[in-house]
Structure 1
Amino acid sequence: MSTDERAEAITAFHASLDGPTWRVAGWGSPELQRMRFEALTRTTDYTGGTVLDWGCGPGDLYFHLRSLHHPLTYSGLDLNPAMVALAKTRAVPAVTLGQTPEGHHDYVFLSGVFQFADPSDPLYYLNILEHAYDISGRAVAANFLSPNRPQAATAEDELYPDPSVLTKFAAALTDRWRLDHAYHPQGADFTLALLR
């Protein structure tokens, strides 16, 4: 599966969803979305600054970050034109269409980006994380579906990376990293943070 094929799969998945923004973004409930957002900020010791929301969807993370009352200069990037349009209707600032961000940001957050597996490039997510780390000044954090997820809650085409692969990758980049596998019911999700 190429990058374009992954983008098509993601766009098709979200096109099949409707309702509130948390559902359009693919989350099971607003509480599950909030838990993931809290894991991003907690694992990075987030205190405000410039934030890139890579895979911003409808911009829900922007509203979560704003509610924390830290200084915030936000930018969002998404490969799905419908998501970018929806975020703009909600007055989410600095949202653009694209796949690979540039510039430099204090924090880079990736929530829900790594949904689909890619049999032709099974570790594709490591390249994305490395790029995110390269453009970050303080920290990067990403959520992943856990391989410990109950069988009934899995799908054949989804990505369930091995946390041990991610910890080896993290340790090769930085001696400051965290893996949080404790916040989600049934251990169905985890967050990796890479700190500067």
Structure 2
Amino acid sequence: MTTTDNSAIFDYHRSMIAFHGNHGPAALGWRDKESQLVRFQVLAQIANLEDCSVLDAGCGHGDLFSYLQSLYTKFTYVGVEQIPELLDEAKKRYGNFRDCTFLAGDFISEELPITDYVLASGSLNYVQQDHDFVFKAIAGLFKNCRIGLCFNLLRYIIPNGLLAAYDPQTILVYCKSLSDKVQMCLDYSEEDFTIFMYH
């Protein structure tokens, strides 16, 4: 991710925070809490995460941790976020929970702890100068998990210069070049799709 790409992402989220405040899903670019929750529900279908370690790439406010808490009694969570304002809010909400850790940085360029599973919700949707960015990101995140990777991408977006949409079949074919255990979920949203990959 280039400095220019990062600058655009920082500017976008800071403008959303300035307009909406830093407490709701709008600061993260989500339409509403319900659309965020639907994506969490799909991501959580990757496996039974009881007694597993999970890395949340681009964790925002860390709300995926709260959702997983509603499903599991024991798991280890690591949230990675590069935007300080979002990370600070995540730490305020969940930083005191046992087995919950937040790390500052870009999950593409930083060295990350290896976990059983890596989940990424919305964090790969930004337009990048490098047209191969999404493929490099998928490959990097897949290397970072012992068992499986799950991520969602947009398949439709009104062009706005910031968010990118991807052809699901193109992404599926690429993921199958990395693993023979790949599944795609399309039935939860007209504008979104989710990929599950396993080692």
TM-score normalised to the size of structure 1?
Answer: 0.88
Instruction: Give the distance between the partners of 1:155 and 1:46, measured in 2 at CA.
Output: 37
Greater RCO, 1 or 2 (C-alpha within 8 Å, sep 6+): 1
Q: CA deviation at 1:101?
A: 4.0
**How large is the Cα RMSD of the aligned pairs?**
1.6
Instruction: Give the distance between the partners of 2:3 and 2:82, measured in 1 at CA.
Output: 10
**Contact kept? 1:7, 1:79, Cα under 8 Å:** no
- Provide the aligned length of Structure 1 versus Structure 2: 187
Q: Secondary structure at the match of 1:137?
A: strand
Number of the residue aligned with 1:102 = 112
Structure 1 segments (4+ residues) deviating >3 Å: none
Matches within 5 A, 1:3-152: 3-17=2-16, 18-19=20-21, 20-42=23-45, 44-48=46-50, 49-92=52-95, 93-99=100-106, 100-118=110-128, 120-147=129-156, 149=157, 151=158
Number of the residue aligned with 2:171 = 166
Gaps of 5+ in 1: none
Identity of aligned residues (%): 26
**Contact kept? 1:133, 1:139, Cα under 8 Å:** yes
**Contact kept? 1:77, 1:101, Cα under 8 Å:** no
Instruction: Give the distance between the partners of 1:101 and 1:78, measured in 2 at CA.
Output: 13
Gaps of 5+ in 2: none
TM-score normalised to the size of structure 2?
Answer: 0.87
Q: CA deviation at 1:137?
A: 1.2
